[in-house]
Each structure stands twice: as C-alpha cells, then as structure tokens.
Amino acid sequence: MKKIIECVPNFSEGQNETVINAIAEAIGSTTGVTLLDVDPGKSTNRTVYTFVGDEKTVIEGALAGARAARENIDMRAHKGEHPRFGAMDVCPFIPVANVTMEECVEISKTFAKRAAQELNVPFFLYEEASEQAYRKKLPDVRKGEYEALEERLKDPQWAPDFGPSEFVPTWGATATGARMFLIAYNVNLLGTSNQAHRIALDLREAGRGKGQPGKLKDVKGMGWFVDEYNMAQVTVNLNNYKVTPIHVLFEEVKKKADELNIAVAGSEIVGIVPLESLVMAADYYIEKEGLFIYQEEQKVRLAMERLGLNSVAQFNPKEKIIEYIVAQAPDEPLASMTVREFIEEVAARTSAPGGGSASAAMAAMGTGLGAMVAKLTQGVRKFESKESQMQAVIPVLNDLTQSLIPMIDKDTSAFNEYMEGLRMPRNTEAEKVARKVKMQAGLKTAIQVPLETMSLGDKAWDALITTAEHGNPASKSDVQVGAKALETGIWGAFQNVLINMANIEDEDYKAEILAQAQAMEKRSREKFLQVMAILDKI
C-alpha cells in the first residue's frame, strides 16, 4: 500500500500574503504532494503549512517550500510572538500510513542534507532524528531564538548537523526531524470551565505540577468554556495517539465527569486525523460491546457515533481523515473492467493479460464465493449455532478477496517490466550487462507477483474449510465452485512461477522460491480435497 507521510513546516511569515501564497504555491505545485492546510497567524508572524506525500515526494515538497522561503523571507526584519530561529523555522516529518518512524527519520535527514547543500544554510536535527539527548527537544535547539543564534553557532556543541556553522543572517537556522502525529481533540461537557479544567488537570501528563502528575501519558490539556457551543470542553493535544488513543481520553473524561455528576455531550476533532486512530477507537468499542463489525467504513461510523464526533459540527470522514483526503482511484485498468471486457482482453492477440492475471481473478472468485456463503449464513436465525464460526471466517475471506483483486493488474505490470528489459539495446558490452540486469530483475518481479497470489490464496483454505463445515447447506455448490476456483487460481499462479523461474540465474533464489511455491501448491490440492470430502457428506 502507498506510504503517506505528513510534513508540517512552520515559516516565519504570517502577515505578507504575497510571501505566504508563494510558499503555498511552491509546495502545492509539487508533483505527488497534496497541500492540506495553510494557517497564517498575524500576531505570531508565522504560517503553518500541512501537506502529505510519499517518501520521495514529501521531500520534494519540503525543498520547494524551503527554496521559496530562501527567496522571500529575510529574518533580519522578522518580529513575532512565537519562538523562532529561522525562515523555515521547523520542518517535522510524521508517519501517517504504511510508514515507520525510522523511515521518517531517514526522510528528515535526506531533506536536511539536500536543503543545506542547495541553500547553504544550517539545519539541526531534533526529536527522533537527533542522536544527542541535549539537543533533542525543540525548545533546547531553538534556545535564545534567532537573536542568540550567531553566538551559539560558535560553540562546537551547537554545530549544525548539516550545512555551514557560519551565521546566515537572512535565514537563521532550521530544525527538522520526525515526530508522531499530534491530534487536537476536545471533549464536550455540560458543565463549567472550572469543572472542565479540573478534569484536564487530573488527566494531562503534567498534572497539577511537580509531584502531582496526571493519569495519561503524552497528553497536554486544559479546560475552557466555548460560548459558541454553550458548553465547556476538556481540550487536549494527544502527542502520541498510540500511547494515549482518542477513545482512552474520551472514556477517562467520562469517568471523571460521572464523579462530578456532569454529562459528556460528544467530542470534536480539530483538524485532520489518521485513519488508524479511529479504527483503534472502533476496535475498542467492538470488543467492549461484543459487536461484529469488520468493514472499514462501518468501523469509522462506529467510532463517530461512540465518540459523538457530530455533536458540535458535522464530521465528514472524506474531509477529516488523511487517507481519504489524499485517496486516489486505484491504478487497476484490468480489475476495473466489466467481466466481458476483461475476458475479451484476455482473449486478444496480446501476451498480457495472460495466465497470471486470469489465475489471480480465479483465486479472487474462489475466496469471494466463500465470503458470500459465510455472509449468507451469518445472522440467519436457523443458523444461530454457527454464528461464531461465520464471524471468524467472514473478515478473513472478505479481506483476502480484496487483496487478490489488485493482483490481476500486478501480474500484467510485472510482465511488462521484463519486456522493457528485453527491448533494451545490446550493442555494447555495457548495454548487454544493463539489459541482462534489467531482465533478471523483471523475471524476479514476474515471479514474486504470482507467488504473492499463491500466498494470499493459501491463507484462505482454513476459512473455506470452516465455511464448508458450517455454512448454509443450500449453498453447497457455491463452496464447491469456490474451492475449485481457488485451487485452480493457485495452480495457475504456480505455473507462472515455474515458467519465469527457468531463466533465473541466481540458484539460491530459485531453490528458496521453488520450495515455497511447491509447498503451497501441494497444500492447495490437499485442502481442496478436504473441502470436497466435507461437502460430499451433505
């Protein structure tokens, strides 16, 4: 799946619209980047930009913003209420989806190195990217601000991680690094600001001061009264939603509110959130209440309802969840065809799509039929005794079906990579070597894709066997067809592994992959016979 990294650079300009717009244009026009928000502050004389991209494009977006700042901001004339020491004051990279904190650390280092070299300005690493304890926290790195920077750079302990140690008056310095996603979250109370603040003091990590810590880690907060809503709120920043998730904060506020005999009236998320944070909340309530919900859309809806996210303003997932904001239609031309179009495309006078794509489609049909039978059994009164078995297999078969569908296109794309190598020139020795390397890499890709199809199909057998044992007997033939389709899909993918293996020169690779594929193909034949034996008794 696509990696999503958020970048939230803060620039020392919040009053000049021409400069603010120039930086926004530079970031927003970067290919592969989605600019989500531009938030200028006049009194702070600072603008916060929020954008997302993958591991490559997010760096390009940050570089584009830095270039625009270098051209348009002169720190010698800057004044503002917010602490700052540079034109691009801080530039954190934040993991959102399918990316680790360690990857974001490397992204921040790559960005700092490139920006420092190109712009000839100093960059400091902070938070997770810094390896020195005394310069991890942003306030420590930025101590004394711009006005103290010239003298500070003379101290060897404060030599920048990248770029010159000399003071650059027009720029200052930039801090970049990696941190967790910060969620701004408010819980509504039918009470007073004093009551809300009392709860906040009990829960926030700092608590009531030295010796009186609060209950929840990585939480900053306070209480206030919002005239617009005619309600009090416990307003918090969740600095790490994996340490203190949204639902944990919400439930703890409810407990404290009960002690004070006041009511909680829902909550609100300020800004945007990662999908994972709401799925975590949904999973909590699913387990707590014994619910059977497995689809992502329904999980998001459950989290919205239990947290009361529509209480003061409409919570639109497409506008509030990062993954949905940047979602793009999948690049699946084959899988997006009608059945007729796909079959006609397979039948056309072209080598692709071929057996690999057809095998993935058959395997998906197999798991899909299993999912259908399980869903038709689950929730039916006459099959109440089978409820637990069906609830166990439906998510498995449903998810595997969704995972197998993209393999239809992946197989064709993998073949095309090999063909690109085949068409490369071979007039010189260097060209012959490059062509051979490309073809070998293409063959390995062409092997890995059907191997992945086999692996996904292999994971479905136990669930399909359970469906055969406990599913609606009236759907016997559907399970039979599903099992045969799955077995055929796995067998077909196996043949694609074998045919591409013939020209692989890496013998160790061949032996390892062949052992995996043979084991899955053998297991497929055995599991198919097991399904048939179960259904023959019905």
pLDDT digits (tens, 9 = 90+) for 364-395: 999 999 999 999 999 999 999 999 999 999 99
Contact yes or no for 156/162 (Cβ under 8 A): no
> What tens digit of pLDDT does each residue of 245-290 get?
999 999 999 999 999 999 999 999 988 899 999 999 999 999 999 9
Do residues 151 and 19 share a domain? yes
pLDDT at 1: 63
User: Residue 270: its pLDDT value, please?
Assistant: 87
| Strands of the 263-270 sheet, one edge to the other | 219-226, 231-238, 183-190, 263-270
Identity at 359, one-letter amino acid code? S
Residues paired with residue 7 on neighbouring β-strands, in sequence order? 51, 93
Please check whether residues 318 and 349 belong to one and the same domain. no
pLDDT for residue 408: 95
Q: Are residues 352 and 431 in the same domain?
A: yes
Q: Provide the β-strand partners of residue 231.
A: 226
Find the DSSP H helices in 73-216. Answer: 101-119, 138-141, 145-152, 193-203
Please, are residues 537 and 468 in contact by the beta-carbon 8 Å criterion? no
Question: 82: pLDDT confidence band, cut at 50, 70 and 90?
Answer: confident
What is the distance between the alpha carbons of residues 357 and 354, in angstroms, rounded to a whole number?
A: 6
Residue 416 has pLDDT above 80, yes or no: no
pLDDT in tens, 444-459: 888 999 999 999 999 9
From the CA atom positions of the chain, what is the Rg in Å? 28
Question: How confident is residue 73, by pLDDT bands cut at 50, 70 and 90?
Answer: very high
Among residues 272, 303, 325, the one where a domain terminates is 325
Q: Tens digits of per-residue pLDDT, 323-334?
A: 999 887 788 999
**Number of domains making up the chain:** 3
Q: Quick one: tokens of 462?
A: 């136990």
Cα→Cα distances 465→370, 472, 531, Å: 9, 13, 6
Per-residue burial over 156-194, b if 16 or more Cβ lie within 10 Å, else e, is eebebbbbeeebbeebbbbbbbbbbbbbebbbbbebeee
**What percent helix, strand, coil does the chain show, rounded to 5?**
55, 15, 30
397 contacts: CB under 8 Å, gap ≥ 6: 367, 368, 370, 371, 374, 460, 463, 464, 467
Query: Do 171 and 316 have their domain in common?
Result: no
- pLDDT tens, 106-128? 999 999 999 999 999 999 999 99
How confident is the model at residue 293, as a pLDDT? 96
Tokens of 140: 């420590």
What local confidence, expressed as pLDDT, does residue 327 receive?
A: 83
Note the pLDDT of residue 446. Answer: 86
pLDDT in tens, 340-356: 999 999 999 988 899 99
Is there a single domain that holds both residue 200 and residue 167?
A: no
Strand partners, 485: none
Positions annotated as catalytic residues are 82, 411
* 67-74 mean pLDDT: 97
What pLDDT score was predicted for residue 411? 79
* Residues 60 and 173 both lie in one domain: yes
Helices marked H in 57-100: 57-72
Question: What pLDDT does residue 502 have?
Answer: 86
CB of 59 closer than 8 Å to CB of 110? yes
Q: Does residue 426 or residue 203 have the better pLDDT?
A: 203
The pLDDT value recorded for residue 329 is 75
| Domain CATH number, residue 483 | 1.20.120.680
- Do residues 427 and 333 touch, judged by C-beta distance below 8 A? no
Confidence of residue 443 (pLDDT cuts 50, 70, 90): confident
48 and 26 in a common domain: yes
Domain final residue pick, 294, 325, 356: 325
Identity of the residue numbered 353 = P
Mean pLDDT across the stretch 420-436? 86
Q: What is the mean pLDDT of residues 29-40?
A: 93
Distances 471 to 442, 513, 518, 527 between C-alpha atoms, Å: 42, 35, 30, 17
Domain containing 344 equals 339-536
CATH of the domain at 76: 3.30.990.10
Under 8 Å between Cβ of 67 and 77: no
pLDDT at 412: 77
- Computed over every residue of the chain, the mean pLDDT equals 94
101 with 77: CB under 8 angstroms? Answer: no
Q: How many CA atoms lie within 13 A of 85 on its CB side?
A: 27
State whether 162 and 31 are in the same domain: yes
